[in-house]
């Protein structure tokens, strides 16, 4: 199998069921026939299982997967730098369109009002999401909000008991599937903490628990090979929220900035 498809399968394995791992192992070791029923018989799985498998790789159908497989199998020369650049540009545009379709202005507006009514809030972001959390913190700190980052699930052992009714916790998780964190969120929800989930999976248990869901795009297909950073759709969601906040509260922000200048800027000598 072509290296590009091998990478696509490798990066998608975190989403596979046991049966889908079986399918992946077979495809990596054997030629792929052009008929889905024939392949299903060889692997001893159903055609519907193969269809679900190819969709997790970012393809709309087995037919599209096979076309890409055959196309790359027949390639005698690698992509040129210009072709790679063009493909990357195409994927960027696709992500932008998907994020734009998913982000909800009403949710961002209500969340902005909730944030504005508080002195600050907490943000959970582990792994690559920590960098997104830091970006969000920097932006809102400039506007006078206290923002505290919780960078891993272990830290919830310390921060969790401190969060009380009326506090706001924004959780950044592209797939929303950290089971240990979900248990913490259940407890915080019962305690009256306002939960916000920034994710690509609106059906995840985190999203179901949340009072606000900022839905962004997932990475699939060629982006999931690591060619595009998984932070990108999350950073775009942060941009969207920040832009909405600035638009809603520009007057009060300008007033705060004017007041703070007296403390932040060096005084002129008399």
Could you tell me if 16 and 142 lie in one domain?
no
Structural domain count, the chain: 2
Could you tell me if 128 and 54 lie in one domain?
no
Q: Is the pLDDT of residue 1 over 60?
A: no
pLDDT at 70: 82
Q: How far is CA 30 from the centre of its chain?
A: 33
Q: What is the pLDDT of residues 220-241, one digit of tens each?
A: 544 444 566 778 899 999 999 9
CATH number, residue 192? 3.40.50.10490
- For the ranges 16-30, 66-80, 91-105, 172-186, which has the lowest average pLDDT? 66-80
Q: Domain residues for 207? A: 95-252
Could you tell me if 113 and 29 lie in one domain?
no
Q: What is the mean pLDDT of residues 43-52?
A: 92
Average predicted confidence (pLDDT) for the chain: 84
- Better-scored residue on pLDDT, 178 or 256: 178
Number of neighbouring beta carbons within 10 Å of residue 255 = 11
CATH number, residue 28? 1.10.10.10
Return the biggest CA–CA distance within the chain.
88
109 in a structural domain: yes
- For the ranges 2-16, 113-127, 237-251, which has the lowest average pLDDT? 2-16
- Cβ burial of 143 (10 Å; 0-12, 13-18, 19+) is middle
Q: What is the pLDDT of residues 200-223, one digit of tens each?
A: 988 899 999 999 999 998 765 444
pLDDT at 175: 85
pLDDT at 269: 58
Q: What is the mean pLDDT of residues 175-187?
A: 89
Q: Give the long-range contacts of residues 252-260, CB within 8 A, separation 24 or more.
A: 252/116, 253/143, 256/143, 256/144, 260/144
pLDDT at 222: 44
Could you tell me if 136 and 55 lie in one domain?
no
Q: Which residues contact 16 (CB under 8 A, 6 or more apart)?
A: 24, 53, 56
- For the ranges 59-63, 135-139, 159-163, 261-265, which has the lowest average pLDDT? 261-265
Could you tell me if 61 and 177 lie in one domain?
no
Q: Is the pLDDT of residue 190 over 80?
A: yes
pLDDT at 21: 86
Q: What is the mean pLDDT of residues 78-96?
A: 68
């Amino acid at each position: 199998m072509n290296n590009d498809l091998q990478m696509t399968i490798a990066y998608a394995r975190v989403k596979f069921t046991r049966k889908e791992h079986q399918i992946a192992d077979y495809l990596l070791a054997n030629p792929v026939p052009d008929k889905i029923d024939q392949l299903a018989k060889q692997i001893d799985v159903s055609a519907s299982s193969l269809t679900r498998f190819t969709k997790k790789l970012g393809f709309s159908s087995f037919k599209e997967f096979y076309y890409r497989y055959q196309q790359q199998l027949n390639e005698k020369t690698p992509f040129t730098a210009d072709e790679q650049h063009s493909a990357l540009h195409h994927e960027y545009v696709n992500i932008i369109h998907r994020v734009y379709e998913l982000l909800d202005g009403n949710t961002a507006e209500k969340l902005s009002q909730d944030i504005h009514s508080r002195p600050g809030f907490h943000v959970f972001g582990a792994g690559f999401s920590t960098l997104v959390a830091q970006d969000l913190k920097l932006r809102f700190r400039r506007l006078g909000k206290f923002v505290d980052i919780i960078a891993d699930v272990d830290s919830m052992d310390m921060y969790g008991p401190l969060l009380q009714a009326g506090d706001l916790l924004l959780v950044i998780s592209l797939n929303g599937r950290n089971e240990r964190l979900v248990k913490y969120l259940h407890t915080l929800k019962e305690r009256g903490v306002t939960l916000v989930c920034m994710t690509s999976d609106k059906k995840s248990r985190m999203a179901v628990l949340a009072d606000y869901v900022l839905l962004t795009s997932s990475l699939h297909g060629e982006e999931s090979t690591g060619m595009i950073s998984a932070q990108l759709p999350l950073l775009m969601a942060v941009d969207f929220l920040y832009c909405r906040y600035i638009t809603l509260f520009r007057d009060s922000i300008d007033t705060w900035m004017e007041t703070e200048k007296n403390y932040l800027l060096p005084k002129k000598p008399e």
